[in-house]
Amino acid sequence: MSHTLTVKTPDGTFDAYIAMPATTPAPVVVVVQEIFGITEGIRAIADGLARDGFIAVAPDLFWRFEPGILLSEHSEADWKTALGYYMKFDLTKAEEDIEATIAAARALPEATGKAGVIGFCLGGLLSFLTATRGKVDAAVEYYGGRTEEFVERGASMTTPLLMHLAGDDEFMTKEAQAKIKQVLDGRPNVEIHVYAGRNHAFARPQGDHYDAADAEKANARTRAFLKQHLA
């Protein structure tokens, strides 16, 4: 079952797509979007998490630009719009919006109080940044571009973090991946997996670079990780 959660912030309110599991109380997982908005793919991921027993909440992080915007990776015009918003995107405000979403979702009567975050592309970076702020019980990053720019924030992080990196990611160089692994690999709370030969967004349902085998491998690891840390 899905509906909309309204999230309040000092700057205003925005909506989040919410998918409820069949059985509650349940832990919360916040699903953080790519640059295209709360797309069918993001909603499908949230629905899948609900089937796995989580309260899945996907906040509209572009609400300051155009609430409810839905863009397509298959449209050149939509790509330009998405990249334009990305260039103006305030990461700090987005981190605050995610934390407001976590707080609102944790307050639901169906929630256990445990909360995790999972993000893709832009959302992957934001999942990492949220983990470094210590406000969630677990975080999962899928190929978060620019993570290497902020990776030192993870050096003293205690939040459990699972990272899925695409080996041939066109938005994350080999050097960037090496820097991430140099800082984070080997930390007891961090688990990093690199998927050789995969492109950026290999786990996006219906995406141009979707790879079913490695997407399912990554998603199975994610399910196990979230169940371990949010039980």
> Using CA atoms, how far apart are residues 146 and 88, in angstroms rounded to an integer?
15
Indicate if 200 belongs to the active site.
yes
How does strand 190-195 pair with strand 138-142?
Answer: unpaired
Catalytic choice (60, 137, 200, 214): 200
Angstrom distances, CA of residue 195 to CA of 10, 163, 174: 40, 11, 12
Indicate if 169 belongs to the active site.
yes
| Beta-bridge partners for 2 | 19
> Using CA atoms, how far apart are residues 15 and 9, in angstroms rounded to an integer?
11
Q: How many residues does the chain have?
A: 231
- Two tokens, residue 109: 């009567």
What interhelical angle do 91-106 and 122-132 show, nearest 10?
70
Catalytic choice (60, 97, 137, 169): 169
Q: Give catalytic residue positions.
A: 169, 200
